[in-house]
Structures are given as structure tokens and as C-alpha cells.
Chain A
């Protein structure tokens, strides 16, 4: 797409694989370890089952959104509409379930389908109509957000009790929210072994070269957004389970937070490199930073400034080290 990626075209799969491992890098895990350590120091109850459950419960949606964003970014795109896809999927699922435990399965399908449909719109507009992903998803974010308000004009509605209660339980000694994060990891591990995701890396690295090597670029781009949309649908179910009611404005910060998580996870915004495991770690780092500042008793008026500075420092650190990895 731009200059400077042309030499990557020639890189074999082996080299690409090494890069992928290298980039899901020391910094991301170092930051995660540091933030967990600090959190454990300022919050003595951090490792209790209750605390782990409630901490994980808050960031399950962001974890799924981060995986979705990671796939889009690796494919060389960017999805600013993820937040409103989460909001739309959540209100649709809420309406479909109508507070009844029996309909939870249908609710999941509705959320997945809604997310995938939104993704399809994004995919068609970027791949077939050929508009820049940044602008397209900015515009579709406004469309999806409007539809969300039509479906649910103001916050309210009740989530099936089994969903909210089940979310707080533990299964085999491990809290359900932790299982959810493990499911996100598993989804990524399965996806990353598919031909589809190899194609996503190829398209993100150099679309021209991928096209020349008979990768179905248009189909891959569409499917990338559809996958991301479906994952955003799962994030929506996480939101519902965590909050217990519907909120049409829920996704406001999700899009930008998921992008921050992706960068913290060592995924280059230029595409073609990185892995969603890093993005999951990035999402957890973001959530824990907020947690730490809360327990440090930072005054509310300064909390946002502090979190902004910490995040910018972390972003600088992960970006700087990623660059070094490339030079080597």
C-alpha cells in the first residue's frame, strides 16, 4: 500500500512466523506482569476469587473487542465501528431474549448474527466499494449507533437472570469471566491455524503481493470484517452479562480502547504482523491500569489524566520496542 512494505512481500512464511512470535513481545508481557504486580500491591484482596471474578467480569467485553480489532488491524484495516456494533448487538440480543432464561441461546445467535451483519456492511464497503476502512467505519459507526437508538431509545430492559448470575459463578474452580477470556484465547488459537488467517496476514502485509499470489483479497477483506463483527457480538453478550441491563451508549469508548489494546499488544497498525494474544494482554493492561488508579486513591479529577499518561507511556514503550524488533 505504501512504500517500505515492498521488501516484506518477499518474506517467506517462516520469516513471517518468527516475526509474529517476536512481536507478541517481551514488552507486552512485561507490562502485564508489572501492572498485575502493582495491582496486587495496592489491592490486597486482588487474588481472592471474588475480586478476580469482578475484575475479569469488567474487561471480558474489551477482550473480545480487542481480538476483533486485532484481526482487522492485522488485515491492514481499522474498525472504528466496533463500539457501536457491540452496542447494537447487545440491544438486539436484549430484545430477543426479553429477560427469559430459555432464550439465552437465541440471544447469543442474535448477537452473533447482528455483529456479523454489521461486519458484512463494513467489509463490502471497504473491499468491494473500495473506501478507506478508517472513514467507512467512522460512517457506519454513526449508522449502527443510530439503529441502536431506534431499537432501544434509552437505557433499560432486563437481561435473563441466569445470564447475570451465571457470569458470577465459578466453574471447575475457575470463575466464569476467566473462562470467557480463555475462550477468547482459544478462538484466536483456532483461527490463527486456519488458511483464512494466513490470508489475512498476507493481505495486511502487502495486498498487491497477496493478490499476485492468488489470495482472494476481496473475499478475505470481507470475511475479516465479518469475523470481527461476530466477535463484537460476543463482546456484546459479555456487556449484557456484566451490567444486567441494556444501554444504547455502552460502546462509546470500546472502539478507541480496543485500538489502544491492539497497539499495547505489539500489533503494528500498518498490518500484517502481531497476534491477538498480545491484544488480549493489552486489553487486560488497560483495564488493570484503571483498577490500580482506583485503589491508589488518586482523586477522581486526576484519575483520567494519570491513566492517559500511563497509557501513552505504555504505548510509546511497546511501539519503540516493536520498531527495534523490525530492525534486527
Chain B
């Protein structure tokens, strides 16, 4: 794989590695989108507007933490259930909180435990029943949808606790809501855990080569299961923050976040094959996707055209650096 990438001569190595760094490319694209927005519709690039777009990105970004970890764990790892799990988390959270701060702790802890349990089942199925992740989490998608219907009886109840709403919707420091700071802390924390701690190193080792990892004494099974548990927890966390944003809950609140979370990870340069990449890229990927959405909304584009442009731009982004190597290499 390295042989193929180093063969393309031309630019000096250092410069090329910076220019070809997906995080750099994605950041440039995000900034370019904001600039285009400012030109087309003055005010799009204003400080408040940017903060507001970042706030929207945070939900996707936090859900994408788990997706990044799962994809890094390799073995065709992917979690198609994150959107539904986030929705379930928000539904359980709204029910437990019931609009009062008194129930806040339970309203956060109980959904997180539910998310962890779903992730645990995913992980156990993938590791011990050896069901491919794509299929296991796809099946889980159906089961979670069923749980949502059985739990709510078709109508969601409850409200977000005022504290949660305030965290997401009220400007706090530097005109930014608390949720942005939560996200920034998470970005630093997740990056540190991935790069500087044993579980993080184990994850990369397991993702790049399971056999080698096993032979080096890494507990591959628990690492993989842990990755899916983390994904369930992060999905619920994203769902809870989204609940703070919307205050009341719908039965399909976060369903649409699954595929964008995968797209964010890919745009951020994490290899679908596992073992290569990091969370910072996914966070920038989430920002790119959210800015793109706001730009298309600002342009007053009808929903149909918006989905077309969305898809085309995603393809262009991927073509820029998501290309796989040639067969003849």
C-alpha cells in the first residue's frame, strides 16, 4: 500500500504529505464552503452564523466518534445502528427527564446505559457469533426500531430537561453554546485516548492486523466489543444533545444520522478497511457536511435539488482523496 502512494513523483515529500492529508483537505473544503456561502448570501460567514453551524455539526460529530472507533477497529467494522440508537437514547432521555432538571442525572445515565447495552449486543454478535458487522448492526437497526415502537406505543412523550436545552441553545462563552465546548473537550479527549493510551493503541493494532495483534498479546475480542459499546454510548450522547436542541422528541429524531456519520468518517480520511485515521478528521468531516447542508438551505434550493447536490459534492470530495489504489501496483 505504501509502495503505491510513494511512487507518484512530483511534489517534495513534506509538502505533498500536508496537501494530501485528508484533515487538511477537509478543513480547506469547509472554509471554502463558508466563503462561497458568504459570497452568495452575505451574512452566511458571520461569526454567529458559523457558531450556529458548528453547533449543528456537534450532534453529527459526536455520533461520528463511535463510528470512527468502530471503523478503526477493522474487520469491515461499521455501525449502521447509530442513528436509531441515538433516537432511542433521546426518547428514553425525554421520558425519564420529563422536562425537569431534578431527573437530569437519570435522564442522561439511563439512556447511556441503554446505548452501551445495545453496543454490547452488537459487539458480542460480531465477535462470538461472527456475524459481519454490516449485517449485525443492520439487524440491530430493525430491533431498535422495534424497541422504539414497543416502548413508546407509537407516540413519544416527555421533554428535555431545561439544563440540557440551555446547554445546547443558550450562548454562553464567546457567544458559543456549552455544547460546542463539550464537543471540543471530546475531540481532545478522544484524540488523546486514541493516540496516547493503551486502549487506543490496541484499537489501531487490532484494526490494521488482527492476527498480529492477537499474537502480540492484545485481547482482540474485548477491544472489538469495546469499540461497539463506545459507538452505542456516543450515539446516545449525540441523541441526547439533539434532544436538547429540539426539546421534544420525535420517533425518527436522529434516524438520518447513520449514513452521514459514515460519510464524515470517510471525508475525515479514516480508511474503511480500519487501522488508519483519527477522530479529528471525522469532526472536520461532520463540519463539512453540516456547512454544506446549511449552504444548500440558504440557497433556497428545493429539497430534491438539495439531495442531488449533496450527493454530487460528496462524490467530488471522495474523488479528491478517497480513491483506492490501482490494481496494477
Contacts and interface: CB of A to CB of B under 8 A. Distances in A.
Interface in A77-103: 78, 80
A150 B304 contact: yes
Given A135-B318, A142-B307, A305 B138 contact: no
A304 B154 CA distance: 12
A312 interface: yes
B303 to A, nearest CB: 7
B130 A309 contact: no
Nearest to A314: B139
Interface string B300-329: 000111111111101100110011111110
Given A3-B209, A269-B132, A323-B130, A143 B308 contact: yes
B138 A259 contact: yes
A211 interface: yes
Interface stretch (B13-21, B45-53, B241-249, B259-267): B259-267
Interface in B128-148: 129-132, 134-136, 138-147
Nearest to B143: A308
Interface in A106-150: 125, 129-132, 134-136, 138-143, 145-150
Nearest to A142: B311
B131 A319 contact: yes
Nearest to B328: A211
A263 B266 CA distance: 25
B149 interface: yes
Contacts of A54: none
A138 B263 contact: yes
Nearest to B303: A149
A135 B322 contact: yes
Interface of A is mostly: helix
B311 A143 contact: yes
B166 interface: no
Interface in A142-163: 142-143, 145-150, 153
B125 A3 contact: no
A307 interface: yes
A320 B306 contact: no
A238 B263 CA distance: 32
A311 interface: yes
A147 B131 CA distance: 35
A134 B71 CA distance: 13
Given A138-B263, A149-B303, A304 B145 contact: yes
B3 to A, nearest CB: 14
A149 B304 contact: yes
Contacts of A139: 263, 311-312, 314-315, 318
A211 B208 CA distance: 25
B247 to A, nearest CB: 25
Contact of B129 (A3, A311, A316): A316
Interface string A235-277: 0000000000000000000001001100100000110000000
Interface string B221-256: 000000000000000000000000000000000000
A308 B142 contact: yes
B146 A305 contact: yes
B164 interface: no
A2 interface: yes
B211 interface: yes
A207 interface: yes
Contacts of B146: 302-309
Contact of B315 (A140, A315, A320): A140
A306 B143 CA distance: 8
A291 interface: no
A68 B291 CA distance: 35
Contacts of B312: 139, 143
B71 to A, nearest CB: 11
A256 to B, nearest CB: 6
Interface in A29-63: none
A12 interface: no
Given A143-B312, A269-B135, A132 B272 contact: yes
B11 interface: no
B113 interface: no
Contacts of B325: 130
Nearest to B304: A149
Nearest to B212: A3
A217 interface: yes
Contacts of B143: 305, 308-309, 312
Contact of A135 (B80, B134, B272, B304): B272
Contact of A312 (B130, B142, B273): B142
Nearest to A308: B142
Given A125-B315, A150-B304, A302 B324 contact: no
B131 A129 contact: no
Contacts of A125: 315, 319
Contacts of A143: 307-308, 311-312, 315
A311 B139 contact: yes
A301 B311 contact: no
Interface of A: 2-3, 78, 80, 125, 129-132, 134-136, 138-143, 145-150, 153, 207-208, 211, 217, 256, 259-260, 263, 269-270, 300-309, 311-312, 315-316, 319-320, 323
Given A315-B136, A319-B129, A320-B131, 11 more contacts: A136-B315, A139-B263, A146-B306, A207-B327, A256-B138, A305-B145, A305-B150, A308-B143, A312-B140, A315-B131, A320-B130
11 contacts: A129-B319, A131-B319, A140-B315, A142-B308, A256-B138, A270-B76, A300-B149, A303-B146, A305-B150, A308-B140, A308-B145
The 5 closest A-B pairs by CB, nearest first: A305-B146, A308-B142, A149-B304, A146-B308, A142-B311
